[in-house]
Amino acid sequence: MSSMQSNSSANATFVRPATFFINGFFNVPHAKYYYVFLSLVYVVTVLGNSFIMCVIYSARRLHTAKYIAVFHLALSDLCGSTALIPKVMETFLFEHQDISYEACLTYMFFVYHFMNMQSLTLIVLAYDRLVAICLPLRYHAIVTKPAMFMIMGVIWIFSVTFFSILVCSVNRLSFCGSNVLDSYFCDYGPIYRIACNDNSVNILLGKICYSLLIFAPLILIFISYFCISVVLFKIPHGIDRIKAIKTCSSHLMLVAIFYIPILSNNIASIITPLHPNARIINNSLTQTIPPMLNPIIYTLKTEDVMQSIKELYKRRKVNTTTERRVKNSRSI
């Protein structure tokens, strides 16, 4: 009888708020200008990633396994920014800071999922470079289009499954106090911190999430480039070594842009407690700047992409000239 009463009392005290209030910056004058800046970042991100996807789709020379992964990275960047920035603009520029419980969890899932897809795609590109340099004669037999599509399918299933579990774990929390989130979106950490029941499972899942997003991918990429460096040192001719390094340069830049800011934020938060405003700026820039820069880096630093752009431009110019000649001949 007493256990039934305790269960009923536990259920009675379990509180799920109808809405969360996303607080954003705390006492920062003209904070809206920062969100306007993020909107400009979003415009550049959409244009850049749409452009690189169109180039890969249109240029036959880029219809390879490697550029399937590059296309997927651009798609993940585009979807991740679209999941995050438009909602941030609506929240703070139009002052819709209340968000329903269900919408908050959906928002969280898509932001984390696509951020994870960016990270996992960087591992796939590291694997591509590893096979290309360490096993050049077997590259086209190992890194095939079907194999790349299968890898992409596996990482999608893995990411969707894990982040579904992560988001659903919020349902075990009770929010009997504040419903205010000290963040700029429905972030997992600020949500479980305001819960008033046991959140140890959520803390564990949060640590696993960081491991999946940061540490495990970085370790795998480090191992890949360690093996690549061993092979490069065995190359007798310096020119061949430089050519091999150039094929890795764009990927290394993407890795640095994605992981260094995240690592810096986490190290800074461990060394000294970050003010919520500083954390919001650091995290928002970390999530929005890399997707904007990735297509620019791949366009400027990859010879195949630049050559394909030139070929597409010449083809379009020829087609335009031909159409004009046909029109002129018809008018005569």
Query: Of the segments 78-92, 203-217, 226-240, which one has the largest average pLDDT value?
Result: 78-92
Of 69-73, 150-154, 177-181, 260-264, minimum mean pLDDT range: 260-264
Q: What per-residue confidence (pLDDT) applies to 264? A: 83
Quick check: 4 pLDDT over 50? Answer: no
pLDDT at position 2, please?
38
pLDDT in tens, 40-49: 999 999 999 9
C-alpha distances out from residue 150 to 47, 154, 232, 257, Å: 28, 6, 29, 27
For residue 311 the two structure tokens come to 């070929």
Overall average pLDDT of the 192-199 stretch:
90
Quick one: average pLDDT of 117-141? 93
Average pLDDT over residues 41-68: 93
**pLDDT per residue over 272-331, tens digit each?**
777 778 888 888 988 999 999 998 888 777 888 888 888 888 887 777 766 666 666 666
What average pLDDT does the chain have? 87
| pLDDT band of 1, cuts 50, 70, 90 | very low
Residue from 164, 252, 254, 266 nearest 215 by CA: 266
For residue 131, what are its two tokens?
């096979």
Q: How large a percentage of the chain has pLDDT more than 70?
A: 92
Mean pLDDT for the stretch of residues 8-14: 53
Q: What pLDDT, on a 0 to 100 scale, did the predictor assign at position 108?
A: 95
| Token pair belonging to 1 | 């009888």
Q: What is the pLDDT of residues 102-124, one digit of tens each?
A: 999 999 999 999 999 999 999 99
pLDDT for 7 beyond 50: no
C-alpha span between 195 and 206 (Å, rounded): 14
| pLDDT score at 10 | 45
Over range 88-102, report the average pLDDT. 91
pLDDT tens, 218-266?
Answer: 999 999 999 999 988 887 777 777 887 888 888 899 999 999 888 888 7
d(CA 76, CA 120): 10
Instruction: Tell me what pLDDT residue 323 has.
Output: 66
> Comparing 13 with 88, which gets the higher pLDDT?
88
| Alpha-carbon distances, residue 311 vs 58, 317, 318, 320 (angstroms) | 10, 10, 11, 14
Q: With the C-alpha atoms ordered 91, 212, 216, 66, is the resulting torsion angle positive or negative? A: negative
User: Which pLDDT belongs to residue 20?
Assistant: 95
| In the predicted structure, residue 30 carries a pLDDT above the cut 90 | no
Domain ranges of the chain: 16-308
SS3 per-residue string spanning the chain: CHHHHHHHHHHHHCCCCCEEEECCCCCCCCCHHHHHHHHHHHHHHHHHHHHHHHHHHHCHHHCCHHHHHHHHHHHHHHHHHHHHHHHHHHHHHCCCCEEEHHHHHHHHHHHHHHHHHHHHHHHHHHHHHHHHHHCHHHHHHHCCHHHHHHHHHHHHHHHHHHHHHHHHHHHHCCCCCCCEECCCCCCHHHHHHCCCCCCHHHHHHHHHHHHHHHHHHHHHHHHHHHHHHHHHHHCCCHHHHHHHHHHHHHHHHHHHHHHHHHHHHHHHHHHCCCCHHHHHHHHHHHHHHHHHHHHHHHHHHCHHHHHHHHHHHHHHHHHHHHHHHHHHHHHC
Region 34-59 average pLDDT: 93
Strands 98-100 and 180-181: unpaired
Give CA–CA dist 24/43, Å, rounded. Answer: 22
**Residue 8, pLDDT above cutoff 50:** no
CA distance 125 to 221: 9
C-alpha span between 163 and 204 (Å, rounded): 13
Compute the distance between CA of residue 296 and CA of residue 279 in angstroms, rounded to an integer. Answer: 27
CATH 1.20.1070.10 fits 16-308, yes or no: yes
Distance CA 243, CA 235 (A): 11
Q: How far apart are CA 80 and CA 290, in angstroms?
A: 11
**pLDDT computed for residue 102 by the predictor:** 95
